[in-house]
Amino acid sequence: MHIPGVAMGGLTAGRAALAGLVAAIGITAGSLPASAAEPASCQMVRMADPGWTDITATNAVAGTLLGALGYQQKIETVAVPIIFQGLKTGQIDVFLGNWMPAQSTFLDKLIAEKSVEIVRPNLENAKFTLAVPTAVAEAGVHSFADLARFGDRFEKKIYGIEPGAPANQNIQRMLDKKDFGLEGWTLVESSEQAMLAQAMRRTRSKDWVVFLGWQPHPMNTRIDMTYLSGGDAYFGPNYGSTTVNTLSRRGYGTECTNVHRLFSQLAFTVGMENEIMAAITDDKKAPKDAAASYLKAHPDLLGPWLAGVSTRNGKDAATAVRAALGLK
């Protein structure tokens, strides 16, 4: 490196000149924005969505923030096993939808290999297990153990989500073992939307149905539903009480320090996700519009999320995001 006005041979003089220059402009290592050290490849943040509305909502929140900070977001909509493979191979940077313990069969192996990193839990108090319409619960179905004696009413079917989903694998494992006396039962695999349409249709017609339910999700207000107890071995205790983690590919935190800091501080609540998802599914808002509307109504969230984060060109993150949202 050549410092103007300093001969390359004058090492001592050069050091002195450099020290004076640093002092003059007030630069310290701690004051440099995190984005200053990021390579150009960090500008594109590659994320994933299994086709679940909750992850569509949280991706939209992240995308709204990233766009205001000068980053771009690319979302691949693929099945969970492919998402984990993408994290392992470095084709996906960040995944906001690691539901645990449901996805432990995928995550545990990659954590052991050190090919995926847990950034932080981004949602607590989620729920993920089998559910029935409340009218069915009132007729005597309160737990997994109650299903078998009403097999004919359920047509011996459990409605799940997309093929390959960890939750479906847990259900299939339960059926293969004929646990709870569920001999001859089948898992109906489809998309989240198709499963919920079937559950709503059968609920309206007073037909019995057992399906995969979770919160946060607008299904909890659209369907008068009851979660079943007793599925701890397959979905965890307390009705499938779940923590959702943010994952990143190996090395992302040291390579893309600024955007990684954002994800290390980004967290959600059940109520927040329910509201954004309802805007997407019920009000037919585009995900980014639903997320922006929520953030405009709750600007207090921005401070903790953006603490110590800068724009890609080193400016104040909170100022940039508030300006992008039209906030003063």
Burial class for 64, CB neighbours closer than 10 Å (0-12, 13-18, 19+): buried
| Average model confidence (pLDDT) across the chain | 89
In three-state secondary structure terms, 132 is: strand
The pLDDT score that the predictor gives to residue 227 is: 96
Residue 274: pLDDT over 70: yes
* Half-sphere CA count of 172, side-chain side, radius 13 A: 13
Q: What is the pLDDT of residue 3?
A: 30
pLDDT computed for residue 229 by the predictor: 96
What's the pLDDT score for residue 30? 40
pLDDT band at 125; cut points 50, 70, 90? confident
Q: What angle do CA 299, 305, 311 make, to 5 degrees?
A: 95
Whether the per-residue pLDDT at 209 is higher than 50: the answer is yes
| Structural domains of the chain, with CATH | 33-125+242-325 (3.40.190.10), 127-241 (3.40.190.100)
126/291: higher pLDDT:
291
pLDDT at 177: 97
**Percent share of the chain, pLDDT over 70:** 89
Segment 24-70, tens digit of pLDDT: 333 333 444 455 568 999 999 999 999 999 999 999 999 999 999 99
Query: pLDDT value at position 248?
Result: 98
Q: What is the pTM of this model?
A: 0.79
Q: Determine if the peptide bond prior to 216 is cis (ω within 30°).
A: yes
Side-chain half-sphere CA neighbours of 125 within 13 A:
8
Please check the confidence at residue 256 and state whether its pLDDT lies above 60: yes
Instruction: Tell me the per-residue pLDDT of 174-203, one tens digit each, with 9 for 90 and over.
Output: 999 999 999 999 999 999 999 999 999 999
pLDDT in tens, 128-174: 999 999 999 999 999 999 999 999 999 999 999 999 888 999 999 99
- At 68-105, the pLDDT tens digits run 999 999 999 999 999 999 999 999 999 999 999 889 98
Query: What is the average pLDDT across 262-267?
Result: 98
Which pLDDT belongs to residue 14?
A: 39
Say yes or no to pLDDT of 204 above 50.
yes
Mean pLDDT of 262-288: 95
Question: What does the pLDDT read at residue 22?
Answer: 36
Where is pLDDT greater, at 176 or 8?
176
